[in-house]
Amino acid sequence: MDALTHTAETYQGLEFHINPLYMAWQKLRPSHALAVASKSLHLRSRPAPLVVEDPAWVAIKPILSGICGSDLSIMRAQSSPYLAPLTSFPAVLGHEVVGEIDTLNAPWPRGTRVVIDPSLACAARGIRPCSACAKGEPDECANRHHPKLGPGMLLGYHQDIPGGWSTRMWVPRQQIYPIPTTMTARRAVLTEPSSIVWQALSRIQDDGGSPTTLILGGGTIGLLSIWLFKMLHPTAKVFARTRYPLQSRLASQLGADVVYQDQAGINLVTSLTLNPIAGEPLDTKFGGWPFRPRGFDIIIDTVGSETSFYQSATLVRPGGQILLLGGAGKMSVDLTPIWSRRVTLIGSFGYGHGPSSPATTTFNTVIKTLDETPKPIEQLVTHIVALNQYQEAIEILQRRQGAEPIKVAFGPPSLAT
């Protein structure tokens, strides 16, 4: 919306443009999807948004801004179109941000290091709270397409208000959280994804026992899930499925008791190593999925693919729970294991601002937890690339196996040490 821009001030932003021709090519050649996406990224000078004149919004200079799995899904044209009405493009992406206050008109001194809650719910829009926001659940806000600001569910998915892939951004002051002076930026940039995981784990029904838990995926969300789940359930036996050696090493360091690293020719769901937990698989018939009589109490799927859902559905025990944390989209799956085994399927989104707690609880708790943990959590940030070298970041993510990236972030490369 041109009405939201303010031309007296500018900033540099890495814009992502949606190109239907590129999207069609990405569908045909998914292995080249990320390389094609790089053609839709443009570092440009942009006019500051009109919120610069709103005292409820504070200017921030990003220090580190992560590349999230949801950003990659959008760039690869792999995202479900279901949430598309709540986004607007072209947009400056980036919602995992640690930055510093960049104005004198703020409750904190200029230069104070902060992290952000990127939500664009009723409070950020300055409108009367919807029923969800009034209950303290802005993650379920009904007004993320409201004409006040326009479509945009998060900072980074709004065509006029930039995310963290920029030299400057603007954030509602009630969604800004100062961090300890001793916390490194590499730890702080994990606050937003850790908050996603923290609230998601709270949705699992806890019977107070020692559940066998399988966490699928060794990316940022998978490794954070291992760390936080083991911290919250120290007696649980945590199993992890990873793809690369670095993921496997970090999974063990962060609390996984057993790590299964993908190997060519080995199918996890039929692996004999799982027999003590899931029972011996029965012979398949008519091309069906393997049936095991038992399984894991809890499976946390941080991948969100057909393969990971297949693994979840066939390896969870009857009456068990599957937590979807991987942004699962459109897929062709057999739901028979879910209903026939009375499995609870749990969806999760956002930061868990429950009605019984203030909106600040999740972020403040996660900041404290990140600051105090002795675990090498900052090692999840494997690559830091200057914003004007964004093509290098895409190349790192494209070749993956050689570089073994986990979290790639834009920022000063000096922060990598």
pLDDT in tens, the chain (417 residues): 344 665 568 999 999 999 888 888 888 888 888 888 888 999 999 999 999 989 999 999 999 999 999 999 899 888 888 899 999 999 999 999 999 999 998 999 999 999 999 999 999 999 999 998 888 888 899 999 999 999 999 999 999 999 999 999 999 999 999 999 999 999 999 999 999 999 999 999 988 788 999 999 999 999 999 999 999 999 999 999 999 999 999 999 999 999 999 887 678 888 999 999 999 999 888 888 889 999 999 999 999 999 999 999 999 999 999 999 988 888 888 899 999 999 999 999 988 665 445 555 899 999 999 999 999 999 999 999 999 999 999 999 987 656 689 999 999 988 876
Q: Can you tell me the distance from the alpha carbon of 311 to that of 306, in angstroms, rounded to the nearest whole number?
A: 9
Q: Which pLDDT value is given to residue 303?
A: 94
Distance (Å, whole) CA 333 – CA 91: 33
Give pTM, 2 decimals: 0.94
Structural domains of the chain sorted by starting position, each given as residue range(s) with its CATH number in brackets: 2-180+187-193+356-416 (3.90.180.10), 204-347 (3.40.50.720)
Q: What pLDDT score does 30 carry? A: 83
Other CB atoms within a 10 A radius of the CB of residue 79 amount to 18
pLDDT reported for residue 1:
39
293, with CB counted inside 10 A (0-12, 13-18, 19+), is exposed
Q: Which two tokens stand for residue 41?
A: 């990224």
pLDDT for residue 317: 97
The gap from C-alpha 366 to its chain's centroid, in whole angstroms, comes to 15
List of E strands, 246-380:
258-261, 296-301, 316-324, 344-347
What is the pLDDT, as a whole number, of residue 417?
Answer: 62
